[in-house]
Amino acid sequence: MIRLNAVTKTYAAGSSRSHTAVDRVTLGITGERITVLQGPSGSGKTTLLSLIGGMARPTSGRIFFGEREITSLPERFLAELRRRQVGFVFQNYHLIRGVNVLENVILPALPLGEPFKAVRRRAEELMAQLEITRLATLPVQHLSGGEQQRVAIARALINRPSLLIADEPTAHLDSDLSEQFMAIVADLKERGHTVVIASHDPMVCRHRAVDTVVSLHDGRLATDAAVA
Ligand SMILES: Nc1ncnc2c1ncn2[C@@H]1O[C@H](COP(=O)(O)OP(=O)(O)OP(=O)(O)O)[C@@H](O)[C@H]1O
Ligand SMILES: [Mg+2]
């Protein structure tokens, strides 16, 4: 579904602070599977996720999303692709404080101009699946970490993305909630979503629902297992 061809990302390229976070990575992310990027802190996992999800552009190399090359797509097209095809669950959730749970979930759908009733119905379905219906009218800052994460997942899924990206999703969760998160993504895979997770949590890397583990070290792939 996504292909990276010799992709490099260098921050502050050309300056004395220049740092190559992702170094000539060639990788295929297969559709309807769960891929985990693992590696020590600073190895380039978040950078690689942002390249895969069209949030950052490579310094060199090429990226294909389905049949479409997105390497140098103008920002407005890239933003449209992200909105329609990619759901992000950030490490710190990035929920909007002062706004309630239902509104947080619905927000990414508003720019797409779909009838509000349909969006609201979908939000309610997602919230029911994720067992957060009773939280709908609470401001998000009143929720526990695990509850916030489920709101972040519902929000990431509101536009029915084909690709779900999660950055260190279990970092703030206890082992029961981590297992619950993996059950949610296993179910998403069954329903045809592609999932990419960055994690150094061994429980995630070894989870039975995970199809491929890709190891990064200093921005380089340590395994060719997922190269397509
Ligand atoms: N915007 C930036 N400008 C300069 N350097 C950056 C930037 N973002 C990340 N880096 C550097 O790139 C390297 C890879 O960072 P990245 O966040 O991708 O690693 P990571 O594997 O996600 O780490 P962690 O496990 O701590 O989240 C690090 O050395 C980091 O300091
Ligand atoms: Mg990171």
pLDDT digit string (tens) for 110-133? 999 999 999 999 999 999 988 899
* Rounded Cα distance, 197 and 171, in Å: 12
Q: Where are the beta strands (DSSP E) in the chain?
A: 2-11, 19-29, 34-38, 60-65, 68-69, 86-89, 163-167, 194-198, 212-217, 220-221
* Rounded Cα distance, 86 and 162, in Å: 6
Q: How many CA atoms lie within 13 A of 226 on its CB side?
A: 28
47 lines ligand 1 (CB under 6 A): yes
Looking at residue 228, its pLDDT comes to 44
Residue 126 vs residues 16, 102, 160: alpha-carbon distances, Å: 47, 10, 10
Q: Answer yes or no: is pLDDT of 209 > 80.
A: yes
CB atoms within 10 A of CB 28: 15
Ligand 1 atom at minimum distance from 43 CA: 21
Q: Tell me the residue type at 165.
A: I
50 lines ligand 1 (CB under 6 A): no
For ligand 1, atom 5: residue with the closest CA: 11
**Can you tell me the mean pLDDT for 93-117?**
94
Closest CA to 181 of 147, 215, 221: 147
* Rounded Cα distance, 135 and 155, in Å: 14
Q: Answer yes or no: is pLDDT of 88 > 70.
A: yes
Residue 147 vs residues 105, 131, 152: alpha-carbon distances, Å: 13, 9, 9
Check if CATH label 3.40.50.300 holds for domain 33-46+74-215.
yes
The two three-digit tokens of residue 146, written as one number: 């695990």
The two three-digit tokens of residue 207, written as one number: 């989870």
Q: Answer yes or no: is pLDDT of 101 > 90.
A: yes
Ligand 1 probe mutation, 11, 48, 215, most atoms within 8 A of CB: 11
Ligand 1 atom at minimum distance from 49 CA: 18
Please report which confidence band the pLDDT of residue 143 belongs to, taking 50, 70 and 90 as the band edges.
Answer: very high
Are residues 146 and 69 in contact, defined by beta-carbon separation less than 8 angstroms? no
Looking at residue 223, its pLDDT comes to 61
Can you give the length of the chain in residues? 228
Q: Answer yes or no: is pLDDT of 174 > 90.
A: no
Ligand 1 probe mutation, 18, 46, 90, 221, most atoms within 8 A of CB: 46
CA of 46 to the centre of ligand 1 (A): 7
